[in-house]
Structure 1
Amino acid sequence: MWMLAAGIALAALAVGLVYRYLDWKAERGWAPHEPYQVIVSFEDGVTDDERKRMIRAAGCTVMDSNVHLGTYTLRSSRKMRRVLEHFNSMQGIHYAEPNYLYEATYIPDDPFLPDYQYGPQVIQAPEAWDVTVSRPDVVIAILDTGVHASHPDLATKLTAGYNFVENNEMPIDRNGHGTHVAGIAAAATDNGLGIAGIAPNTRLLPVKVLGDNGTGNLNQVANGIIYAVNSGAQIINLSLGSAASAVTLQNAVRFAADRGVILVGAAGNNGVSVPNYPAAYSEVIAVASTTMHDVRSSFSNYGMWVDVAAPGDRILSTYLGGNYAYLSGTSMAAPHVSGVAALLVSQGRSQAEARAAIQQTADPVPGTGEWWVYGRVNAAHAVRYRTAQEQQG
């Protein structure tokens, strides 16, 4: 499910923490702010009783106050524009404004990130890292050709895994595909070398279910899924597939899903609308591939059985021998989404909550509603996503 392009590139980047106000476009024209929260300052001479009456009339409750600034931070059940219009139309109000967000912008020092990794940039992973870089207790299982354990961008991230091809505890990668997938999802980040993974602090569980030629059988894949669940993985990346559905595979997928595991699958590289399994199962988040220009990769499978898209065309990641290489395929798109899922799990999101965040915040790039349902995944929006109930609560 992948095509090898060539190459490796070198670059350098000075690093640091840069504090700036996020100027990305926000919903309904407002700059980023806490949902349903407004800060109000009252004019001098407004009594406590008048203030309380005005707050009640606006449908708000007091969350906090600052005596030095003379401000009240209020929670409202009303839309931001309406509550601001309400306050600003009242006598005795000095000003009312959204509870804006100001963020610390994290720029890792991995030299390939700024110039050679368009994937994290496109899905706004650096902005997501201002919210969370995940945690070491979050584990992504990489069901693939194994993982190169001594790669300097992966060695500190790996847990003990299993080889279902040779039935031993050595999931050695002699193909390169699994190592490449693993790096996209969670390569060591801010370590002064190589690339940045989407979920920097997440650990990786290597499960070899594909042989050195890149193929594996149903039994190996199904056993690998069960093993990953029982080993505590919260996310399973499945950058593999077939046009053939199988009861055994579907039962393994359901076993994982019923236990709260998030499954992410590659849509396939045949450039057709024929479903690819296990991605096409409803329990799996099916991922198509896009280019750096946010259009569908010509090789990517498509259809309304596909949930989201992610960068998968000429993706730089870890490779055999401690090297880096460009590969293309929906196999490369899927671990972008697995990485975002790991960021969400680190926030305490359930399987359903993480899936909703990934789907509902995807950017509606060309092809949305035709090639895939929701759009191209957006990590920054996903980690800030809240349901209507969460916003009101």
Structure 2
Amino acid sequence: VDVSTIPGESGRVDPAEDGYVPDNDPVDYEGHGTFVAGLAGSAMDDGVGMAGVAPGIRLQPVRVGWREEYVDPGTGRTVSGGFVAMSFCAQAIVYAADNGARVLNCSWNSTETPELKAALDYAIGTREVMVVDAAGNGGLSTTQSQNYLSRRGDCLEVAALDRAGQVSVASSIGTWVDISAPGEKLLSLVKTGVSRLYRIHDPGATSFAAPLVSATAALVLSVEPGMTPAQLRAHPRQARRRHDQPGPRPPGAGAGRARIDRGADRATAVDRR
């Protein structure tokens, strides 16, 4: 869900609804969605300089937030930032599910509301959509207070890893995390006018680990379209690699590191049986 239009992606980015202002304009307000979308599906061999995990997928951008100024309670300064409303997320989830989405990437904090619960129940239970959720940027906190999706049990929860394969200090962790993926120093796309067009995100965020897993799920579906959400959730865990840390596996970081190559290989093996 959390995607936006990508330069050079004409024909692969579906015109989609907007959960904020229903005008069919998915242009990114803040830059976050464009960065997420680039990691998942930006084109390859186009001379631009980077490619997404699944460059052949179709992206369905559905904008669920906006950018506004507010007073930082810590500094008293007026700053601007991105905001997401659960009512917009609920509308977007239903819209995407009804318009052919098989995988939803949710790189946003979530709180439980009747509308959001009903939308997820419908997408997962009725439309058989896989939901991939960013575990949160709690700085190794195990709290789930701002992550309703993680408490449901039917969404795939993704923590973030650093460049050394260790759990990022920015990531939330917990027994509810299913798997981890790289989330620091990632190169992706940035909307023109927000920053330079291409940048590397240094601090790390689970928002950027989640689309790597979402795109892997899309690759699997491309060769095994009959997989159910439950089978898809199990697939990345089966295709994982143990965390590159000495000693015991880091607690709260899931079953291991998602391996895109193994995920695609396993799906291809299934397809050839």
TM-score for both structures, normalised by structure 2: 0.83
8 A contact 1:148–1:319 mirrored in 2 = no
Q: Indicate how the Cα distance of structure 1 residues 294 and 182 shifts in structure 2: closer, same or farther if over 3 A, else same.
A: same
Looking at structure 2, the residues matched to 230 and 148 of structure 1 have their Cα atoms a distance apart, in angstroms, of 20
Q: CA deviation at 1:381?
A: 1.3
Q: Which residue of 2 aligns with 1:376?
A: 257
Looking at structure 2, the residues matched to 323 and 279 of structure 1 have their Cα atoms a distance apart, in angstroms, of 32
Q: Which residue of 2 aligns with 1:179?
A: 34
What is the letter of the counterpart of residue 364 of structure 1? R
Q: Which residue of 1 aligns with 2:65?
A: 210
8 A contact 1:279–1:287 mirrored in 2 = no
Q: CA deviation at 1:194?
A: 2.3
Q: CA deviation at 1:368?
A: 4.1
8 A contact 1:288–1:301 mirrored in 2 = yes
8 A contact 1:267–1:280 mirrored in 2 = no
Looking at structure 1, the residues matched to 172 and 91 of structure 2 have their Cα atoms a distance apart, in angstroms, of 26
Aligned CA-pair RMSD: 2.1
8 A contact 1:239–1:266 mirrored in 2 = yes
1:110-121 correspondence runs (5 A): none
SS of the aligned residue for 2:157 comes to strand
Between 1:333-342 and 1:186-195, the stretch displaced more is 186-195
SS of the aligned residue for 1:264 comes to strand
8 A contact 1:162–1:208 mirrored in 2 = yes
Where structure 1 has 5 or more consecutive residues not aligned to the other structure, the ranges are: 1-142
For the pair 1:342 / 2:199, whether they are aligned, the reply is no
| Structure index of larger Rg | 1
Looking at structure 2, the residues matched to 313 and 381 of structure 1 have their Cα atoms a distance apart, in angstroms, of 21
SS of the aligned residue for 2:4 comes to coil
Looking at structure 2, the residues matched to 332 and 156 of structure 1 have their Cα atoms a distance apart, in angstroms, of 24
Detail structure 1 runs of 4+ shifted over 6 Å in the superposition: none
1:226-305 correspondence runs (5 A): 226-242=94-110, 244-258=111-125, 259-271=127-139, 272-275=141-144, 276-305=147-176
Post-superposition CA distance 1:155-211 (Å, at most 9, x none): 342101111112211111121100000000000112222211101110100000011
Q: How many residues align?
A: 244
Looking at structure 1, the residues matched to 39 and 257 of structure 2 have their Cα atoms a distance apart, in angstroms, of 16
Counting aligned pairs with the same residue, the percent is 32
For the pair 1:323 / 2:179, whether they are aligned, the reply is no
TM-score for both structures, normalised by structure 1: 0.59
Q: Which residue of 2 aligns with 1:353?
A: 231
SS of the aligned residue for 1:164 comes to coil
SS of the aligned residue for 2:96 comes to helix
Looking at structure 2, the residues matched to 364 and 247 of structure 1 have their Cα atoms a distance apart, in angstroms, of 38
Q: CA deviation at 1:369?
A: 6.4
Q: CA deviation at 1:250?
A: 2.4
Give the one of 348, 353, 364 matched to 2:242. Answer: 364
SS of the aligned residue for 1:165 comes to coil
What is the letter of the counterpart of residue 362 of structure 1? R
SS of the aligned residue for 1:219 comes to helix
SS of the aligned residue for 1:289 comes to strand
8 A contact 2:107–2:206 mirrored in 1 = yes
Q: CA deviation at 1:281?
A: 2.3
Post-superposition CA distance 1:335-380 (Å, at most 9, x none): 0001100100001241333222211121120474622231110111
